Amino acid sequence: MPIKIQGDLPAKEILEKENIFVMDETRAVHQDIRPIQILILNLMPLKEETELQLLRSMSNTPLQVDVSFITMSSHESKNTKASHLNKFYEHFEDIKHHYYDGMIITGAPIEQMEFEEVDYWEELTEILDWTEKHVTSTLYLCWGAQASLYHFYGLKKKMLPEKMFGLFWHKVENRKIPLVRGFDDIFLAPHSRHTEIPMEDIRACDAITILAESEEAGFYMGMADEGRKIFVMGHPEYDRVTLDGEYQRDKSKGLDIQVPKNYYKNDDPTVKPYLTWRSHANNLYTNWLNYYVYQATPYDLMGAPDFTRK
C-alpha cells in the first residue's frame, strides 16, 4: 500500500529501507484517486517511534492512505523535540472542521492516573465527541481504548496487582466479524499496562461486541456502533524490540519490573526476542482499513459521512 506522508518525515527513510511503498505529496497528486484520509492522535511519549510503528502496520493493503498527525494543545511533550512537532503535527483546532475516513488514538503511559487528572482530558473528550460526526471509524489503542470506553460507556478501569507486561495468548470470538477475518483461533499480542477494564464489565455492556479475549490478560479487542468504534487493549503496533526497550528502561530506573512474558527465549533478556505477533497485527490493521474504513466511507468527505451505511 502506498502511504502518503510528508516527504521529509524521518520515518519515510526507514520505511523505504524496509521496501514499504511510501509516497510523498508530489507523487500523490499525479494519481487520479482519492486516498483514504487517516488522522492519528499520537499520545505516546516517543512519537517518532510510534509514527514508524503505525505507518508500518498500515502498509499491507493496496489502498492509498494519506496520514496526518495531531498532538494535544493542552499538553507539552517532553520526549519529542518541539521542532518535530511543529513541522509534522497539527492541533485539533486546526483540523476540527475536516472529515476523516479513519482515526487512530494511541495509548499513553498515564493509566495509573484518574482520567480527570490528565492535563489534556477535557481536550481529549472534545475530540472523542467530535469523532462521532467527523470520522467513519476510530481505532482506540491501550489507554486510548480505556479512555474511550470510560467516556462513551462509563466503564471504569482498575489497577492490576502487577504490570500486564509481555505477550499473551488470546482467543478469537465472533469469528464471522470481518475485523478478525484471517485470524488463527489463538494468537499472541503485546500488552504493557498497569490497569484493566474487568471482563465482566465489558460483557455487561450491550453496546460492545467482544472479538478477542485472554484468560490471563482479559479483554483484548471489541467493537461498537457496527465498527465505527474499535477498541484494542494492547499494542499490536509494537515492533520487535519495543518491550525490550521498556524493560531495560524500567530496570535501569530501579523499578520493580518483571521480564516480559513469552517474549525472550527461556526468559533470558540478553537474547534477541522473537517477533511472534506481526502477522496478526498486520491482519488487524488491514481488516480495519478495508472493511471499516474503505468500504464504509463516502467518496466525498466534504459533507458528513452517511453512518447509516445504507
**How far is the C-alpha of 37 from the C-alpha of 29, rounded, in Å?**
14
Grid-cell match 490497569, residue found:
195
Residue 138: Cβ-neighbour burial (10 angstroms; 0-12, 13-18, 19+): buried
Tell me the backbone φ, ψ of residue 237, rounded to 5 degrees.
-75, -15
Of 134, 170, 235, 280, the active-site residue reads: 235
Grid-cell match 526497550, residue found:
245
Residue 22: enclosing H or E segment and its boundaries?
strand 22-23
Grid-cell match 527465549, residue found:
265
Tell me the backbone φ, ψ of residue 241, rounded to 5 degrees.
-105, 5
81: three-class secondary structure by DSSP: coil
* DSSP secondary structure letters along 285-297: HHHIIIIIIITTS
CB 167 within 8 A of CB 276: yes
Q: How many residues does the chain have?
A: 310
Enter the C-alpha cell of residue 55.
Answer: 505507518
**Amino acid found at 175:** R
**How far is the C-alpha of 135 from the C-alpha of 38, rounded, in Å?**
9
**Amino acid found at 245:** G
Of 49, 51, 111, 142, the active-site residue reads: 142
Annotation marks residue 132 as catalytic = no
Annotation marks residue 235 as catalytic = yes
Q: How many CB atoms lie within 10 A of CB 10?
A: 11
Of 213, 237, 246, 280, the active-site residue reads: 237
122: three-class secondary structure by DSSP: helix
* DSSP secondary structure letters along 188-214: EEEEEEEEE--HHHHHH-TTPEEEEEE
Annotation marks residue 142 as catalytic = yes
| Active site residues per annotation | 142, 235, 237
